[in-house]
Structure 1
Amino acid sequence: MDNPFDKEYIETCKVELQAHGAGAAAAKINAYLKELDDIQLNIAITGETGSGKSTFVNAFRGIDNMDERAAPTGYKETTMDVHSYPHPNFPNVTLWDLPGIGTTKFPADQYLQRVGFERFDFFIIVSADRFRENDVMIAKAIRDMKKRFYFVRSKIDQDIANTKISQREFNAQKTLADIRNDCIQALEKHHVESPQVFLVSSFDLQLYDFHLLEETLERELPEHKRDTLLLALPNFNLGIIKKKKEALQSKISFRAAPERIAAEKKAVVRSVSERWRLKEECLKKQFLQPVKRETPSPG
């Protein structure tokens, strides 16, 4: 996965190597690696009581509702305040479970200010039914604040199961299309333009639209945050695993270079000039040659 953020640092390392030698280039590499590790991604999840947003928070983080790190779930309102849930493996990625809009503590006209909207990279608005007035209200407020938002229609597995029982001639694709169109029409009726609606089952992310949500988020995030999101996503299908492999392979050259330099420092060589010549040669091979990427085998 080519990342212009990587390419920029490759060019910077080339300059450091040519101008100041191997030590300066290695320091630049380590600074870059720290920058990557420190990239923060804050995702806000909101919706009305019973929408399944807490379960979605857990599924997005790759854990189930019984995990001790899970956001509490239940039929009654379990989110009464803003709660942060760091990713268990990538603590720089945080999902924020927000209370429903329109409560006494979070009135609709003050909602975004009360939850601290400026910290979030984007919002996901979750509903287990058609999206309602409060959902539309928050979507418009987010839009006015120049932030991105996405609609997730949750509990699709339940809808499919219920429809299958109640209809003699059941058609899963037609049912999904009807649900999606119903959501879109309800939002457009309230003047939400071109709403992005994703049908999701938090208990089985490989089904329905979660892969489309992932692709949309990856495409619309700033370039330097895309790998941060990608690596934190659950491994819900083979495609996401391949993407993660590519993202990690693109970082191997950076992470290997400082260790190679350290190994060279311990090597016994005949002179100081020879020692520096070997260091520079190693880094030149690393950064002055075109990067050849391994093409994943099909299947």
Structure 2
Amino acid sequence: MPHGDSKREIEEGNRKVENDQDLARAKIQEYLDKEQNVPLNIAVTGETGSGKSTFVNAIRGIDNKDEKAARTGCVETTMEVTPYLHPNYPNVTFWDLPGIGTNNYPAATYLKKVGFEKFDFFIIISADRFKENDVKLAKEIQKMKKKFYFVRSKIDDNIRNEKRSQREFNEERTLTQIRNNCIQGLQDQGLQSPQVFLVSSFDLKLYDFPLLKDAFLLAMPNISVDMIKEKKKAFQAKVKYWAMLSAAVAGVPVPGVSVAVDTTLLFGVVTTYVLGFGLDIPSLKRMANYSGVPYEELKKVIKSTLIAVKVTPELVMRLLAQFSSLALLLAAEEGSRFIPLLGIPAAVGLSFTFTYRSLNMILDMLADDAEKVFTRVHLKTTG
């Protein structure tokens, strides 16, 4: 065969490998984008003065004085439907709705004026007992077959008032009485099994705020060690899925494709871990501002090299390469491709194992650091 033909075939072969890699990368990115970009529109509604705007700020981990905060005050501040993006998750939007029953938004036309049908999930807030308008909203949401929670806000005010007025104050008993009163009032107005959460938007560790996570767990700030553990569980539930996806790509009989795709996949998933635990630079700086713990001091309690830096595919792979067991798995996967007949099945199994172990290892590291950061901040705010 002429030398020129051999060179041409090699070049064509290289182009084919590159095209296969690009196609595989694009497919993985499509999966990642689908996971990360599903929009979630959460409506926060209720009567004027119930603390809707303060709640919107709290659930996003934003201080009321922050330039990105929803306006709060003792008079009506939300005059129109206003969206607020979560700082880490642009696909998660909290909508601060005007108070129902005002001159501008009377109850009879409220649903149409605020565009109720466009929201996926609803938080109905009241600073007192839930009233007729709150129940009407809940019944309309039920008709749309969407989820909602009742949130009884400003519980810290109630607890302080009860402490002053009761000779033998018992906080747990008082909370139970408030919750039962809310539930009974809603049932009396025709709602079956209403879910009521008692919260203070100024101290997220207290009362029922940690329980408000089912619909938007990963979008919430780290308000307790239990919350961090729940986030870790949510992430762990999908590790096997990502490992199976990696294994499927490993079945492509082209050297280099699996490694290229694994790099893209691991980078995308690990980035969601960093954001979910609030360990990216903007989140850590916000935490420093709110807690009074200097940013540099927060960085000192962190061990992982993926935190407080710009995460890149190369950084993720460099970290994994430091662990000999993972490096050997990756090398074995590529080497197995040259074994006749059994090579590709072996590569599939090795790819699954490599991705599964890598994600679990990184998840353990990041969750551990998230707990360290939370503990450091908690010591400052409670000390």
| Cα pair 2:44 2:125 within 8 Å, conserved | yes
Q: Deviations over 1:105-143 (max 9, x none)?
A: 333233222212222111100011011111112111221
Query: Which residue pairs with 1:195 in the alignment?
Result: 194
Change in Cα spacing, 1:189 to 1:34, as seen in structure 2 (3 Å) is same
Following TM superposition, the consecutive aligned residue runs of length 4 or more in structure 1 with deviations greater than 3 angstroms are 20-26, 245-257, 259-264, 274-284, 287-299
1:258 aligned to 2:261? yes
Query: Which residue pairs with 2:294 in the alignment?
Result: none
Alpha-carbon distance, 1:242 to partner: 2.2
| Cα pair 1:79 1:98 within 8 Å, conserved | yes
1:160 aligned to 2:159? yes
Alpha-carbon distance, 1:282 to partner: 6.1
In 2, the alpha carbon distance for the partners of 1:208 and 1:186 equals: 20
1:175 aligned to 2:186? no
Give the total of aligned pairs.
Answer: 259
Q: Relative to structure 2, which stretch is displaced further, 54-63 or 136-145?
A: 136-145
TM-score by structure 1 length? 0.75
1:286 aligned to 2:351? yes
Q: Deviations over 1:139-170 (max 9, x none)?
A: 11221222211100001111111101111100
| Cα pair 2:24 2:261 within 8 Å, conserved | no
In 2, the alpha carbon distance for the partners of 1:248 and 1:90 equals: 15
Task: Structure 1 unaligned segments of length 5 or more: list them.
Answer: 1-19, 219-228, 265-273
RMSD of aligned residue pairs (Cα, Å): 3.4
Q: Secondary structure at the match of 1:182?
A: helix
| Cα pair 1:43 1:120 within 8 Å, conserved | yes
Task: Structure 2 unaligned segments of length 5 or more: list them.
Answer: 1-18, 247-258, 265-312, 318-333, 372-383
Alpha-carbon distance, 1:248 to partner: 4.8
In 1, the alpha carbon distance for the partners of 2:144 and 2:30 equals: 33
| Cα pair 1:108 1:138 within 8 Å, conserved | no
In 2, the alpha carbon distance for the partners of 1:164 and 1:133 equals: 29
Query: Which residue pairs with 2:5 in the alignment?
Result: none
TM-score by structure 2 length? 0.60
Q: Secondary structure at the match of 1:70?
A: coil
| Cα pair 1:45 1:123 within 8 Å, conserved | yes
Which structure is higher in helix share? 2
Identity value in percent: 56
2:228 is aligned, of 241, 256, 264, to 241
Query: Which residue pairs with 2:78 in the alignment?
Result: 79
Alpha-carbon distance, 1:86 to partner: 0.4
| Cα pair 1:22 1:276 within 8 Å, conserved | no
Q: Relative to structure 2, which stretch is displaced further, 38-47 or 112-121?
A: 112-121
In 1, the alpha carbon distance for the partners of 2:53 and 2:192 equals: 27
| Cα pair 1:257 1:283 within 8 Å, conserved | no
Alignment of 1:87-236 (within 5 A): 87-214=86-213, 217-218=214-215, 229-236=216-223
Alpha-carbon distance, 1:78 to partner: 0.6
In 2, the alpha carbon distance for the partners of 1:79 and 1:31 equals: 38
